C-alpha cells in the first residue's frame, strides 16, 4: 500500500495513503479528543472536537473526516484548538439537559469524561433547558432525548452494521432531534431487531437499558478501551 508522510505537532509520521488525519494522529501516538467518531463507522464530523489546524489552510478541519495528505504540516494541540474544544463541550451541556447526578451513564459517559479532560468547570453559555421527552416505548431500551448530543453514532451503527436503519436526525439547527422510524415511538418501529448496538454506541446516557438506574450504564469493553486511550494520555504542551 502506498504510504505518505506528514508532520503532526512537529513529529514526522508515515501512514497508509487514504488514512484520515485522525488515524494519522493516533498512529503518531498522539491523543485527539473525539465524540462523534467511533471506529468502524463512517465518520461524519459532527462534534467538532477533533478539529486540527493544517498549515496553509485558513479553516480548521475535523481530523476524522479529513484525509491525510503528503507533506502536510498539522497542529492538533494549540491553545486556540483547546479553547474551541472546551467551548464545543460547553455548548453540548448548555443545549441539552445533562444532570449527571442521577444519569444512568454517570461515571461511564464520554461527554462527562470529555468535560473533565478538557478542564471544563462551567459553561460560559446560558443553559437552554429544552423541553425534551423520554421515549420508553421499546421493551428493552429507552431514549432520553435530554442527554442526546446528536453525534449520530446510533444512527450509523444501526444503518451500517445492523442494516436496520431505525434512527435518523430530523429537523434543522436547534430543532434537530433524533427520531426512530418515521418519527414514531421506538417500540413501534418494526425494523428494530432489539440488537442493542445503538445503546452500546451511544456516548452518553441518552440510550440505555431500561432496568439500569443511576450510574449503572457501563460502556462496552472495547469502547471503554478507546475511552482510556483518549483520556489516559497526558496533556501535551503547546508545540
Query: Which residues lie closer than 8 Å to 77 by C-beta, 6 or more apart?
Result: 9, 30, 236, 238, 239
Binding of ligand SF4 at residue 6 (CB under 6 A)? no
Binding of another protein at residue 216 (CB under 8 A)? yes
Single residue of 4, 22, 31, 201 touching ligand SF4 by CB under 6 A: 201
**For residues 105 and 114, which CB has a smaller minimum distance to ligand FES in the complex?**
114
Binding of ligand SF4 at residue 72 (CB under 6 A)? no
Single residue of 21, 158, 227, 230 touching ligand SF4 by CB under 6 A: 158
Copy the grid coordinates of residue 72: 502536510
**For residues 45 and 187, which CB has a smaller minimum distance to another protein in the complex?**
187
Ordered alpha helix ranges (H), 47-175: 79-95, 110-117, 153-156
Strand ranges, E, within the chain = 3-8, 11-16, 51-54, 61-62, 73-75, 134-135, 141-144, 167-170, 177-180, 207-209
Minimum CB separation from ligand SF4 for residue 71, in Å? 35
**For residues 110 and 144, which CB has a smaller minimum distance to another protein in the complex?**
144
Provide the CA 76 distance to its chain's centre, in angstroms. Answer: 17
Single residue of 6, 52, 54, 157 touching ligand SF4 by CB under 6 A: 157
**Euclidean distance between CA atoms 51 and 191, whole angstroms:** 35
**Euclidean distance between CA atoms 100 and 19, whole angstroms:** 36
**For residues 162 and 212, which CB has a smaller minimum distance to ligand SF4 in the complex?**
162
Binding of another protein at residue 67 (CB under 8 A)? no
Q: Which residue has the cell 498522539?
A: 30
Contact indicator for 196, 161 with CB cutoff of 8 Å? no
Ranges within 154-213 binding another protein (CB under 8 A): 187, 210-213
Binding of ligand SF4 at residue 148 (CB under 6 A)? yes
- The per-residue DSSP string of 18-49 comes to T-BHHHHHHHTT-----SS--TTS-----S-T
- Interacting residues with another protein (CB under 8 A): 101-104, 133-134, 136-137, 139, 142, 144, 187, 210-216
- Interacting residues with ligand SF4 (CB under 6 A): 148-154, 157-158, 162, 164, 166-167, 178, 192-198, 201-204, 206-207
Amino acid at each position: 500500500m502506498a504510504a505518505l508522510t506528514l508532520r503532526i505537532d512537529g513529529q514526522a509520521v508515515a501512514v497508509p495513503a487514504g488514512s484520515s488525519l485522525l488515524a494519522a494522529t493516533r498512529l503518531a501516538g498522539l491523543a485527539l479528543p473525539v465524540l462523534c467518531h467511533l471506529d468502524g463507522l463512517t465518520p461524519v464530523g459532527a462534534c467538532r472536537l477533533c478539529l486540527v489546524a493544517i498549515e496553509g489552510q485558513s479553516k480548521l478541519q475535523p481530523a476524522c473526516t479529513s484525509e491525510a495528505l503528503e507533506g502536510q504540516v498539522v497542529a492538533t494541540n494549540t491553545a486556540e484548538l483547546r479553547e474551541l474544544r472546551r467551548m464545543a463541550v460547553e455548548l453540548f451541556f448548555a443545549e441539552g439537559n445533562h444532570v449527571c447526578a442521577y444519569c444512568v451513564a454517570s461515571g461511564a459517559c464520554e461527554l462527562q469524561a470529555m468535560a473533565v479532560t478538557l478542564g471544563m468547570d462551567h459553561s460560559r453559555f446560558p443553559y437552554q433547558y429544552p423541553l425534551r421527552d423520554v421515549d420508553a416505548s421499546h421493551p428493552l431500551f429507552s431514549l432520553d432525548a435530554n442527554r442526546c448530543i446528536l453525534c449520530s453514532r446510533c444512527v450509523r451503527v444501526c444503518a451500517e452494521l445492523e442494516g436496520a436503519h431505525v434512527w435518523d436526525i430530523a429537523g434543522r439547527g436547534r430543532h434537530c432531534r433524533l427520531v426512530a422510524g418515521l418519527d414514531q415511538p421506538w417500540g413501534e418501529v418494526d425494523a428494530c431487531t432489539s440488537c442493542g448496538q445503538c445503546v452500546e454506541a451511544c456516548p452518553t446516557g441518552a440510550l440505555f437499558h431500561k432496568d439500569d438506574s443511576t450510574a449503572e450504564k457501563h460502556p462496552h469493553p472495547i469502547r471503554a478501551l478507546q475511552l482510556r486511550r483518549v483520556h489516559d494520555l497526558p496533556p501535551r504542551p503547546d508545540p
